[in-house]
Structure 1
Amino acid sequence: MADSSSMDMDQDVARRLFEEGATLVLMGVPQGTELGIDCKSWQVGPRFRGVKMIPPGLHFLHYSSVNSPSCGTEIGPKTGLFLNLKPRQILLANWDNKEEDLNFTASQNEEEVNRIRANLQDLDPFLGPYPYEVMRKWVSLTDHLSEEVATKLQPLSGRICAFSDVIPELQLTHTKDREEQNLPRNDTACQSMREGLDKLPRMKPREGTELRFSVIPEKMYPPGATPAEITQYSLDLTYAMETLLETHHKLRPLDLLGELQFAFVCFIIGNVYEGFEHWKGLLALLCRAEEAIRRHKELYLGLIAVLYHQLGEVPPDFFVDIVSQDNFLTSTLQDFFQFASGPGVDGSLRKRAEKFKAHLTKKFRWDFDADMEDCAPVVVELPEGIAMD
C-alpha cells in the first residue's frame, strides 16, 4: 500500500483524520492477499500491518486469500464484512491461516488493544492510509445504509462470502436413504447430464452464513383476490411493496433504500451474485408500484438519487453482460418513468424523474420511449384444422 491517497486531501482533512480517524490493525495477513476497504483494494506487501486514518462510520472490509507462491498464485473467493468504526477506535485482527480469514477476537482484549495504542507510533510506517479519494464515492453508495440495517442483513456469521458455504439438505449416506427420496443410485451410470445432476444432493446454505434479505412476497395480491384483482395487482405492485415495507421497514421506510444499497455493495464490491438478484427484485418492486409512487414522495426522490450513483459506478460491460439481459433495467425503468409522469404524482418528483430519464438517455443511449411491445413475440394464427404437436 502506498501513501498516495494522503496527498489527495488537504492538510486540515489529513490532520483531522490523523487525530480522529479509526485504525485497523491486521496482523499476519499473507503477502499477496488482495485486501480492500470500501471501493478500493490492493495486494498486500511484506510490510503491511493495517489501515490508518479511516473516517468514522460504516465501511466494508473485503479480502481474498492467496495460495502458496510455490503452487502458482491463485486468488481465492472474496470475503467481506461491514464495520462501523468510531473516532480513534483501534480494531485488531489476526490472520488465521487455517481458516484463511481474519479473526477479530483480539479486539475484545482491552490490554492488547491498549498495548497497540501505546505503540501506534512505532506501527505507523506499516499502516497504509485510508484511500480518501474514494470516500465521496463510498458515501454516495451507502448514504441510506445504517449500521442497524447492515447488521440486520449481514449473515449471523458476520461474513459475506462470494461463494456460499453449502451443505446437503438431507444426509443421504446409504442407497436405502436415496431410494426413500426417489433419488437414483450412485453406482449406476449416467445416461445424460440431467441424470447426473439429479444424482447430486440438494444443497442449502450452512446455518448462519446466509444473507438475511427482506423476503419479497411471492404473491403480489392479497388472499381472496378475484381474477380481475389479481391482474390489477400484478400490473401495479403497490400491494406487494407495501407488504414488504410493513413487514421489514415499518418504522423507517427509507431503510428500504439502505437494503437496496447493501445488496448493490454485496454484488459490485463483494462479488455476491445473490446481491444482484435481490437488487433486481427490490428495483422491480419499487419501479412497478404505481400507487406507491404517488404515496411515498421521499422514498422515490431517494430512489432516483440512489440509482443515479449506482449506475454511475458500474463497469461499462456490466450492462451488456448482466443488466441488459432480458432488457431488465430499461423495461423496469420505463415503467417507473411512465408512472412518475402520471396524474397525482408530486411535481418535484415528476421533474426529478424527467431529469434522471434524460441523463440515462444521454449517458447510455437507452430509449425509454420505444414501444416495448415491438419486442414481444409475434402470435401467429393458424388456419382452422391445423394443429401443432
Structure 2
Amino acid sequence: MTSSISPSPTILLPDLPPKTLVGIDLITFTSTPNFHGIRDLPPGWHFLYTGTTESLSLRSGGWFYITPPSPDQNHALVPTTPTTPDILIWKWNPDTETLSPLLATNNTDKQEALRHKANLGTIWQRGGLFRYCSRVSPAALAQQSAGRPVQYEIDEEDEAEGRQTWRDLTDQMTPGLLTRVVGDAVVDVDGRARWMVTSASSALRDNDVIPGITDTDPETAKEEMEKVTGEKESEFSFLPVDLKRTWREGAIGRERTEAAQDRSWALGDLVQRVSGEERDGEAQVLGELQFTFLMILTLMNYSCLQQWKRLLELVLTCRRAIRDREVLVSGVLRLLLLQLKRCDDVEGGLFDLDGEEGGEFLRKLLIKFRRSLYEVVEVTESVVKTEFEKLEAWVKEEYDWELNREVVVRRGMVQLEDGEQVELDMHDDDEDDELGEYAPMVVDLGENATPDDVNTEED
C-alpha cells in the first residue's frame, strides 16, 4: 500500500510500549516492538483498551464508532460524521500508562496527527498494522509475537460468526446511552467522539469507603481517588434501580405487598423515567445491560458487575411484565444467553468475580423466573417462552442447572457413612413458598394502632 491509496479504517498506536496488553472488542494480545496499530476495522461500535499487564493492573479504554463506507441510517447514531477516512490516533501517556486521543483543542496534537497519517503507508508496508479479527488464531499470535508481518489464513465462516456476535452484543449501544452513563465524549482532532472508561470508574452507590483515602464528602472522595490512580475517573450515571422499594409513592396494603413480589411496576417506572417513549426506554435498559457486561468482560469493572446484577434481578423478578413487556423481557433473555456464552472470556471466570456467591444468584433468579413464566403465560407459542427454553437448555448442559424446581427432591432421607439415616430438607425456596423464617406472622398492634403502623414494612 502507498500513501496515495485511500486507507481502510485504522487505529494508530504510536509509541505504545512492547508487552502492553491490548484489547479490541472480543480479542486481546500483547504488543510487540513492530506493532503500531490495527487496520481494516469494520463499521459499527468498537471498544479499545490497554493494560500494563495481563492481570492485576488498571485497564483503560474508549468506545468509538466507525462509520459505514456509504451513507445509511446508522449515520444518525454518530454525533459528528467525519468527512475524512477513519484514521484514529491514540497517544500513549507514560505518566498514567494509558492511551488517550489526540485532541482537537491542542495545536501540537493536530500537527502530530498529520505526521502520523503521512507515515501510514510506510507503517503498513513494514507490517506494523494488525489486521482486525473478531477471533485471533494461534498462528497469527505467534507471528505477531515474533515481530514479523502477520500473514495467515482466516476462516471466513468463523470470522463472520465472531463479528455477528459482537454486533449482537452492542446492537443497543448509542451515543445517547454512552453519554448518559459515562459522561460527555472526548472529541479528537478529526471531530470523532470517544467515551473513555477505566476499570476504576464507578457509580457513586458502589464506591467503598476506605479510611485515609475516601471521605464522607463525595467530591473530596473523588479527588483523593484521582490522586491515587493518577487520572480523572469518570463517574457512571446508571439507571436508578432500587430493589428495596419497588412500589409507587403512597402505595399501601395489598398494592405494596404485590409490588414487592412482582416488580413490574418498578420496571415500568424505570422505563418511563429514562425516556418518555416506551421503546426507547426499553432500549436503554437493554443497552445498559450490554454496556455493563462488556465493561466486566474487558475491564473487570466492579461497579458494572453490580449494576448488571441489579438490572437482571429487576427484570427476572417481574410477572406482569412477562406478558405486558414481551419485547423487553425476551430481549433480556436472548442477550443473557449470548453473554453467558462469553463468560469464560472474563479472566478467572465471570462468576468468580462475584466472590463466594458465584453464579448462585443467577441460578435462583432463573428458577424463580421459570415459575412465574409458566404461571403467567398459558399459551404454548410465546416469544418469551421460546427464548427462555433456549437459555434453560444451555445452562442445563453447560452448568448442570436444573431450573424446574418440581423435579428436584427437596426433602428426603440420606444415609451417612456410618449407616445412620438422617432427614435432609432444602430451604433454598423458603422465601418463595413463605416457609421457615419467611413464614407469615400475625402481630397484635393493639387497639390504638394507626394506618402508618399497619403499613410499616422492613426493606
| TM-score for both structures, normalised by structure 2 | 0.64
Letter in 1 for 2:361: F
> Is the 1:25–1:91 Cα contact (8 Å) retained in structure 2?
yes
CA distance in 1, matches of 2:39, 2:6: 10
Deviation of 1:118 after TM superposition, in Å, equals: 4.3
C-alpha change, 1:115 and 1:49, in structure 2 (3 Å) is same
Does 2:347 match 1:333?
no
Aligned residue number for residue 7 of structure 1: none
In the TM superposition, what is the alpha-carbon distance from 1:260 to its structure 2 partner? 0.3
Q: Which residue of 1 aligns with 2:296?
A: 267
Note the C-alpha offset of 1:238.
0.9
- Look up the match of 1:43: 30
**Which one of the candidate residues 395, 398, 402 is aligned to 1:367?**
402
Deviation string for 1:180-202 (max 9, x for gaps)? xxxxxxxxxxxxxx9x9599734
Structure-2 separation of matches of 1:48 and 1:320 = 33
Share of identical aligned residues, percent?
Answer: 23
Q: Deviation at 1:237?
A: 0.4
Shift of 1:29: 1.3
Q: Which residue identity does 1:223 align to in structure 2?
A: E
Query: Is contact 2:60-2:99 (8 Å) kept?
Result: no
Amino acid at match of 1:48: F
Question: In the alignment, which residue of structure 1 is the partner of 2:163?
Answer: 135
- In the other structure, the counterpart of 1:94 is 91
Instruction: Please tell me whether residue 348 in structure 1 is matched to residue 360 in structure 2.
Output: no
Tell me the residue number matched to 2:417: none
Does the aligned pair in 1 maintain the 2:18–2:33 contact within 8 Å?
yes
Is the CA contact (8 Å cut-off) linking 2:38 and 2:130 kept in structure 1? yes
Q: Which residue of 2 aligns with 1:286?
A: 315
In structure 2, give the amino acid aligned to 1:123: I
2:328 pairs with one of 292, 299, 308: 299
CA contact (8 A) 2:201 2:236 kept: no
* Matched-pair contact (CA < 8 Å) for 1:166–1:205: no
Distance in structure 2 (CA, Å) of the matches to 1:95 and 1:284: 39
Aligned residue in 1 for 2:120: 120
Asked whether the 8 Å contact 2:203–2:237 carries over to 1, the reply is: no
- Determine if contact 1:293/1:345 at 8 Å carries over to the other structure: no
So what's the TM-score if we normalise by structure 1?
A: 0.74
Secondary structure, aligned partner of 1:341: helix
Deviation, 1:137, is: 3.2
Residue in structure 1 matching 2:16, options 29, 34, 56: 29
Q: Any stretches of 5+ residues in structure 2 without a counterpart? A: 69-84, 136-161, 186-194, 224-231, 411-425, 440-459
**Inter-partner Cα distance in structure 2 for 1:247 and 1:62:** 32
RMSD: 3.4
Q: Is the 8 A contact 2:21 2:52 kept in 1?
A: yes
2:343 match: 314
| Residues 15, 91 of structure 2: 8 Å contact kept | yes
2:190 maps to what in 1? none
For 1:24, the aligned partner's letter is: I
In structure 2, distance between residues paired with 1:114 and 1:213: 38
For residues 305 and 334 of structure 1, what CA distance do their matches in structure 2 show?
A: 17
Instruction: Count residues with an aligned counterpart.
Output: 331
Q: Is the 8 A contact 1:93 1:107 kept in 2?
A: no
Q: Which whole-Å CA distance do the structure 2 matches of 1:318 and 1:199 have between them?
A: 28
CA distance in 1, matches of 2:438, 2:287: 46
Judging changes above 3 Å, is the alpha-carbon distance between structure 1 residues 269 and 345 closer, same or farther for their aligned structure 2 residues? farther
1:201 lines up with 2:188 in the alignment = no
Query: Could you tell me which amino acid in structure 2 is paired with residue 201 of structure 1?
Result: D
Q: Counterparts of 1:227 and 1:77 in 2: how far apart (Å)? A: 49
Deviation for aligned residue 1:244? 0.9
Displacement after TM superposition at 1:294 (Å): 0.8
| CA deviation after TM superposition for structure 1 residue 119, in Å | 3.5
- Structure 1 spans left out of the alignment, 5+ residues: 1-17, 67-72, 168-193, 382-389
CA contact (8 A) 1:27 1:95 kept: yes
The answer as to whether partners of 1:156 and 1:208 remain within 8 angstroms in 2 is no
Shift of 1:301: 2.0
Aligned mates of 1:156, 1:120 — CA distance in 2: 30
Within 1, Cα distance between the matches of 2:300 and 2:12?
A: 25
Whole-Å separation in 2 of the counterparts to 1:166 and 1:145: 19
Q: Cα 1:116–1:320, aligned 2, differ >3 Å: closer, same or farther?
A: closer
**In 1, Cα distance between equivalents of 2:375 and 2:436:** 29
Superposed, 1:47-196 pairs within 5 Å as 47-65=34-52, 76-87=57-68, 88-106=85-103, 113=113, 115-124=115-124, 125-133=127-135, 134-156=162-184, 158-164=195-201
Shift of 1:59: 0.6
C-alpha distance in 2 between matches for 1:62 and 1:199: 27
Is the partner of 1:269 in helix, strand or coil? helix
1:344-387 deviation per Cα after TM superposition (whole angstroms, max 9, x unaligned): 56732223323322332222111212279732495599xxxxxx
CA distance in 2, matches of 1:268, 1:280: 14
- Structure-2 separation of matches of 1:199 and 1:121: 48
Code of the residue aligned with 1:341 in structure 2: it is Y
For the residue of structure 2 that corresponds to 1:221, the secondary structure is: coil
Distance 1:56 1:152 in 2: 23
Are the structure 2 counterparts of residues 166 and 380 from structure 1 closer, same or farther at C-alpha, using a change threshold of 3 Å? closer
Question: Which residue does 1:179 correspond to in 2?
Answer: none
Query: 107-116 or 89-98: which moved more?
Result: 107-116
AA at the equivalent of 2:120: L
Are the structure 2 counterparts of residues 365 and 249 from structure 1 closer, same or farther at C-alpha, using a change threshold of 3 Å?
A: farther
Change (3 A) 1:223 1:351: same
Q: Which amino acid aligns with 2:17?
A: P
Match of 2:413 in 1: none
**Alpha carbons 1:237, 1:289 under 8 Å: kept:** yes
Matched AA of 1:159: M
Matched to 1:84, the amino acid is Y
Task: Name the residue aligned to 2:272.
Answer: 246
> Aligned partners of 1:307 and 1:39: how far apart in 2?
17
Aligned partner of 2:427: which letter?
D
